[in-house]
Amino acid sequence: MSALAENLATLQERIARAALRSGRRPEDVTLLAVSKNHPADTIAEAVRLGLNLFGENRIQEARAKIPLCPGAARWHFIGHLQSNKVREAVTLFAMIQGVDSLALAQEIDRHAGQRAKVVPILLEVNVAGESSKFGWDPVAALDAVNGLNALRHLELHGLMTIAPYATDPEKVRPVFRRLRELRDRCADRLGAPLPVLSMGMSGDLEVAIEEGSTLVRVGTALFGPRP
C-alpha cells in the first residue's frame, strides 16, 4: 500500500469516527484534497484511490496543472481570489470558495454572465476576526446574503472559514459552532437551504465535523509535507 493510500485510509477513519460521534453519516462529509504544490501524477494516484475533489489556491499553478490531471477530478478554488484572476477562475473551477467581498462576488457574476455560466460559491467568513485573514465579518455576511443571492450568475451554496491555528483543536470549537449558527441564520433569511459548511483541516477536522462541517479541506495529512 502506498503512503498516499495509507494516509487516505487513516483520514477516512478519522472522518467516519467524528461523523458517527455527532450522530451523522460519514458519507455526509466530503473530503477535499488540498493539492497545491503537488504534481499531476500525485493527483492521478489520488483519483485512482477514489478521490475526486481537489482544491487549489493559485491560479497560475492550477492553469498549468489541471489539464494534465484526470478528467474525473473536480476543482475548487480555495484561496484569496484577486479581481484580475476572476476570469480564469470562472473557467477553471467548479466552485469558488472564499468569496470575501461584495465587489469580488459582483466580478465573478460579471465574468460568469459573459460565459453564460452559473458559478457556485461559498462566502468566506472571518469568524475569529483575525486581521491576518480575509473574509466577511459575520454581521456583514448576514446582511449581504439576500443581495448576493440576487446575482443572476452566482449560486450561494454555503459558508467557509479558516479557524485560527491552535495546538488544541478544542480551542477553535467555538469558531466552527459560530459558523454553523451563522449559516442557519443566513438560510433562514434567504428562505432556502445552504447545504455546504466548509470548515476543518488536517489538525482540527474532527472538531469541525462534530460542529457540522460538510466539507473538510485536507492537504498535509493526506499528501504529506508540500514539496
Q: Which amino acid is it at 124?
A: E
Predicted structure pTM score: 0.95
Domain positions in the chain: 3-223
**Helices marked H in 22-131 — which ranges?**
40-48, 59-65, 86-92, 102-114
Give the whole-angstrom CA distance, residue 125 versus residue 162.
8
- The predicted model gives 2-26 an average pLDDT of 97
**pLDDT tens digits along 180-227:** 999 999 999 999 999 999 999 999 999 999 999 999 999 999 999 876
Give the whole-angstrom CA distance, residue 208 versus residue 200.
5
Angle made by CA atoms 10, 16, 20, in degrees to the nearest 5: 150
**Helices marked H in the chain — which ranges?**
3-21, 40-48, 59-65, 86-92, 102-114, 138-149, 173-190, 205-210, 220-223
**pLDDT tens digits along 122-169:** 999 999 888 888 999 999 999 999 999 999 999 999 999 999 999 999
**pLDDT tens digits along 87-111:** 999 999 999 998 999 999 999 999 9
Fold of 3-223: TIM Barrel (3.20.20)
